[in-house]
Structure formats: C-alpha cells, structure tokens
Amino acid sequence: MSEVARRFFARAWLVLGYAFLYVPIVALVLYSFNDSSVPNVWHGFTLRWYGALASDDELLGGLWLSLKVAFVTACSSVVLGTLAAFALVRYRRFFGRTLFAGMVAAPLVMPEVIIGLSLLLMLVSAQRIFGVPERGMLTIWLGHLLLGLAYATVVVQARLSTLNVQLEEAAMDLGAHPWQVFHLVTLPLIAQALLSAWLLTFTLSLDDVVLSAFLSGPGATTMPLVIFSRARLGLNPTVNAVATLIVLVVSIGVLAASIIVARQERQRARDLAAAARA
Amino acid sequence: MSDDAERPAADRARAVRTRVLGGRTLVAGIPFVWLLVFFLLPFLVILKISVSEMDVAAVKDLVTWQNGRLAFDLHVGNYATLVTDDLYFLTYVASLKYAAVTTVLCLAIGYPFAYFMARARATVQPALLLLVMLPFWTSFLLRVYAWKGMLLQHGWAADLIEALGLDRALAAAGLIPGPGQLMNTPFSLVLGMTYTYLPFMILPLYSTLSKMDLRLLEAAADLGASAWVAFWTITVPLSRAGIVAGSMLVFIPCVGEYVIPELLGGPQTQMIGRTLWDEFFSNNDWPMACTVAVTMILLIIVPVAIFSRYRAEATERPA
C-alpha cells in the first residue's frame, strides 16, 4: 500500500469509527425535537416534549434521588478508592494483597446482575438478623459504591504509580509527619486524578440501572429505572428529551474539565521551563 | 525467632500495636474490610442460598437443631435442574456465543482504530482520545435506547441497511428472520453490545500501542522486514497486554449483560443475565436465581483471573 493510500485508509477508519460511536447520540438528540409521538418518523419541529418533562413528577423525583445517590457515591468512592490505590501502589507486600487487588478490580468486569443479586440477598439476611438496613437510598448507595470504588481506584492508581516517590521522601526527611506529607505533597499532585475519579463515579452512579433495580426499595426509584421501564415498553419522546439534556450537561462538563486540565498542564510546563532557566 | 523471644514483652507489644494501628494498616484495612463485607460475604450468602430450599416467604436455614441433633438440609436439586434442563444449558451456550462474537467484532473494529489513533499526530491525539471517552460519559442506557429508534422500521440505521441491501444478507445468514425485521434479533443484540463495549476495547489497546517504542519498527525495516511482517511480529506481540485486557473487558460483562438483551434482544436471544433476572423478579425463586449466579461466576472466573493478571502487568510494570 502506498503512503497516500495508507493515510486515506487510516483516516476513513477513524471517521467511520467515530460515526458509529456518535450517530446514535445525534439521532437521540434530533428526535427529541420531533413533533410526533412515534419518535422515529420526522413530523416537524417541536419543544413540547421538554414541556412535558417539566411536569413529569415521576422522572423529576427520580432525577433528584439519582443526583443525591450519585453525589454521595462519588465522594465516598474517591475516599475509599484513594485509600485502596495507596495500598496497592505503595505497599508491595501485605497479608492478602492478591485477594485485595482481585476484589478491587473485580467489579470492573463482574456482571452487574451478580453484584446486585448477591449484595441484595446479603442485605436481606442482615435485615432479618439486625433489623437494618431498610431497602432504599442507603442500599442503592452501597451497591454503587462497590462499582465506584473499583473505577476510582483505577484512576487514582494510574496517577499514583507515575508519582516520584522521592518528593514524599524528601518531605519526610525534612521532618514532615506522614499526614502532612499526604496533605501538602501528595494531595496537590493527585488532585486532578481525584477530580476525574469523582466525575467518573458520579456519572456511573447516575447511569446505573441493574444495581439500582436490585437494591431499591418501595418509593426509591432512580431516574434510570424510570427511563428503563419506559424504554422497555417502546419508544418514548420524553426519554429523548431527557437524553438531550444529559448529553448537553455532560458535554459541557467534560469539555470544561479538559480545557481546565490542558491549561494547567501548559502552566506547569511553563513553570518547569522557568525553573530550569533560573 | 530467638530474637523475638529475647525481646522484652513490652517492646513486642508496642511493635504489634504500631503495626496493627499504624497508618499503613488503616489505609489498606478500611477498603479491605469494606470489600470483604460488601463484596466477598455476599458471594458466600448466594452460595448458601443456592443450595437451600425456598419456603413460602423465606429461604430455609441450612443447618438447624432438631431433637437435640444438628440437621443439615442441603439441596443440590437446582444445580441438577441447570445441568439437565436443555433450556438453561442452551442459554449458557448462547450467552458465551454472543459474548465471543461481540469480543471478536470489537477487536476487529477497535484494533485498527486504536492503532491509527496511536499513530496520529501527537497534537491531535488528546482530542481523539477525548472523543472516544465522551460517549462513555453519556448514559449507557440512553445510547442503547437510541439504537431501538434507529433499528425500528423507518429508523436511520434500518433505512441505511435496507438501502445497501444488507438486510437480505443478514436474513440469509439467519441473523434476522427476514428482510426489514432488524429489531429484537441476534443481529440487533450483537450490534448493541459491540457499540456499547467498543470504547472498553479501544482504550486499553490505545494505551499499549501509544507507549510502543517506534524505533523497533525502524530497526525491523532496516533489517529488511516489510511493514506487514513488522506489524505481525513486533506491533501485535507488544500490544498483547492491551488485546487481552480489552477482550476481557468486553467478554466478561457481555456474558452477564442484562439491559442490552432486554432492550434490543428478542425471545430468540435469551441470555443468562436475563434468566437470572426473571428467576428473581418474575418467578421469585431465590435459590434458582442464586444457582444461576453461582454458575455464571464459574463461567467467568477464568477470564476474570486472566484479566486481573494482565491488568496488573499493564499497571504495575515500571513505565
């Protein structure tokens, strides 16, 4: 293959690949403005599905619960995930390390039906013995946290393993307490990873169907559960309207975050260059 | 050993106390205990329930005191049903089949994709990477739902496939019952799973391919290897960790996938995750649901072990 043909082939493959990834999202957004209750035949522009959304108490109630669960899940996942990542990166040898590493990573691939079913049945047993916990927001959070912990650990672990340990050792030599070392040296260095772990676990929790279905109780219906029950029955334009709003919020959030990160990277590069000159 | 014995008892006690209550123990201990209680213990619970009998309202205890004697009540009937009932067996085979086909498709689309990403100009690579991640951030449920609209009659994808005449080929291959009927078929199921899990294949592949030392390829060219030979003897073996990790990231969740078969699959495409769900939510048969779960774990335990080994290799190897 000539160089030109190869470059053309590479470009075509990438373009088609991205089209495959994005066309469904574009379709979802376009058809939210479709003036027809059958959302795959175009009948002209309307905003009425967004109006319907505003008075959709079931969906709005679900959204509020989902946001609460996602917030708590993201915060707790980052805390536990950072601890787990520290243990895995810094402590090469401790009792049960292999088991620990396996348990941290398993929820990344483990089918959610298994995690949901097993956690639910354990919680049911616990409720029979201790009387707690009641099924609801708390139990949904416990399930989401397992998933969030796994993802947060991966993100923080990746950053921690690239850190220069000598920075921490230097601080320690200069008399800093381990907590001060973490607070003053390590934390600022991994702050970016913590932020992306927080955002990732927040969106994962906001999106989860299967764990929530197993772990929710009466009156605790998250937004994905509402969407899923409607999507099962067929096409529903209000689902498209919700989807559009989510895509909008997520795109703005991710773009803003990556611009901030890129700016910080440039700033750091400039600082390093200045330090090298000085 | 003798050292320990000679050391004064107070010293040893202090050493033990700092070891047990030190920061190090807390850092590893908190997530460790958390996972033992909320991840490992639940598995033991379903293992127990899978060999229990169901009462009207609750699962019976395995071990009871009867007339002053310890009585065991072990039921392996659920496992017998699973092995002898054709329906269950076929469901397991189908799940493995669809997961395998999805993995191969993701690799076939994802490997060239990740390769071309990794060889693109360094300045555009962050943007290309961001574009792969972005769908991952938008709701998985809604993206699967989007295919429903696109594959139904007059949907975008359905029109395109019919215009290209691909539906006849699919019908001839037995993947759809007839031209024009794309939804709720093996085709729509595999398409949905490939679409959903493609980024999980691309990301690990990209991370190994972009770290590759390109001088190796120059050396191969200098020694007379064609680009094709160099690709198969250098690039592919060096990206093995990415291939394995990506394949496992696709294959394992696909085996137990529930949402995609429920939304895009049909009566023909019963998968094991759906069976578990139905046993639990529709039939209220907890022991059977647990039995399905336990056997599903047995199916995926080898792939999970492979995955964690390669993941460890990829993340813990000094960069």
The total number of structural domains in chain A stands at 1
Q: Give the model's pLDDT for residue A35.
A: 82
B27 contacts A83 by C-beta, under 8 angstroms: yes
A191 contacts A156 by C-beta, under 8 angstroms: no
Q: Given B137, B277, B304, which is nearest A106 (Cβ)? A: B304
Domain encompassing residue A94: 57-234
Is A3 within the bounds of a domain? no
- Torsions phi, psi of B59, nearest 5? -80, 130
Mean pLDDT on B225-249: 88
**Chain B (165-224) residues lying within 8 Å, Cβ to Cβ, of chain A:** 195, 198-199
For chain A (278 residues), the mean pLDDT of every run of 10, in chain order, is 83 93 89 77 82 87 92 96 90 84 86 93 88 86 94 90 84 84 85 88 91 89 91 85 87 82 81 81
Is A157 within the bounds of a domain? yes
Is A150 within the bounds of a domain? yes
Residue A193's CATH number? 1.10.3720.10
CATH superfamily membership of B85-316:
MetI-like (1.10.3720.10)
Contact A114 B293 (CB under 8 A): yes
User: In the A/B pair of chains, how many CB contacts fall below 8 A?
Assistant: 236
Is A250 within the bounds of a domain? no
- Torsions phi, psi of A38, nearest 5? -100, 100
Q: Taking the complete model, does pTM exceed 0.80, yes or no?
A: yes
pLDDT tens, position by position, B126-179: 889 888 988 877 788 888 998 988 888 778 888 888 888 888 888 887 778 877
What DSSP character marks residue A134? P
The minimum CA-CA distance between B280 and chain A, rounded to whole Å, is 8
Mean pLDDT on B85-98: 87
Whether residue B22 is predicted with pLDDT greater than 70 in this model: the reply is no
- Nearest-Cα residue of chain B relative to residue A27: B146
The minimum CA-CA distance between A49 and chain B, rounded to whole Å, is 16
Q: Give the model's pLDDT for residue B63.
A: 63
Contact B39 A109 (CB under 8 A): no
Torsion of the alpha carbons at B20, B26, B28 and B34, rounded to the nearest 10: 110
Q: Residue B55 contacts by C-beta under 8 Å, 6 or more apart in sequence?
A: none
- In chain B, which residues have their Cβ closer than 8 Å to the Cβ of A206? 139
- Nearest-Cα residue of chain B relative to residue A90: B24
- By residue count, chain A amounts to 278
Q: Given B142, B303, B308, which is nearest A28 (Cβ)? A: B142
Domain residue ranges in chain B: 1-44, 85-316
Of B43, B97, B41, B91, nearest in space to B279 by CA: B91
Is A132 within the bounds of a domain? yes
Is A255 within the bounds of a domain? no
Structure token pair of residue B112: 């060239």
Whether the CB of A189 is below 8 Å from some CB of chain B: the reply is no
- Nearest-Cα residue of chain A relative to residue B265: A232
